[in-house]
Structure 1
Amino acid sequence: MSEYGVHEAKTHFSKLVDKVLAGEEVVITRSGEPLIKWVPVQRKRKPNFGFARGQFTIPDDFDETPEEFAEYM
């Protein structure tokens, strides 16, 4: 965990953001008193829809009931 004063944090904002995104906790202080603790946000994984696109085909009779099951319907 690193501590930075408000003025120093303002001056080096981009570098501090990079540190936080790399997993480091950053505390912003004023007159030596901790004010803010920056931690990275846990991002939600996006679903991977379409990962098998083009690898399978759906037969034309997909939604038709096979004859051997028709008597149970």
Structure 2
Amino acid sequence: MREVQSSEAKAHLPQILDEVERGETIVITRHGRPIARLIPEAESRREEIDRAIEGIRGIQKRTSPVSLDELLAARHEGHKY
């Protein structure tokens, strides 16, 4: 959660709304005191999460299982020790 002065919110509303749409909560302040809170719309966020989960499950069905050793090897690939 981040705080934004009301004057900044006025000047940068489209960018602030983009952040809220991505899941960020924004508190708008005036003279250092909180006056409003912008939070993501719960239902649209839930739909987005559900679509993402469905996509992950689809990928899981199309791919073969990956062992722990393969995961660790991929994670360390290209590292210099």
Range class of TM-score, shorter chain: 0.5 to 0.7
Q: Could you tell me the percent identity over the aligned residues?
A: 38
Aligned to 1:15: 15
CA RMSD of aligned residues (A): 1.3
Which amino acid letter does the alignment assign opposite residue 24 of structure 1? E
| Distance (Å, rounded) in 2 between the aligned partners of 1:5 and 1:27 | 8
Larger Rg: 1
Unaligned runs of 5+ in 1: 46-73
Instruction: Give the 4+ runs in structure 1 shifted more than 4 A.
Output: none
| Distance (Å, rounded) in 1 between the aligned partners of 2:3 and 2:16 | 10
Higher relative helix content = 2
Tell me how many residue pairs correspond in the alignment: 45
User: Normalization by structure 1: what TM-score?
Assistant: 0.57
Unaligned runs of 5+ in 2: 48-81
Aligned to 2:31: 31
User: Normalization by structure 2: what TM-score?
Assistant: 0.52
SS across alignment from 2:28:
strand
- CA distances 1:19-58 after superposition (whole Å, capped 9, x unpaired): 000000000000000010100112265xxxxxxxxxxxxx
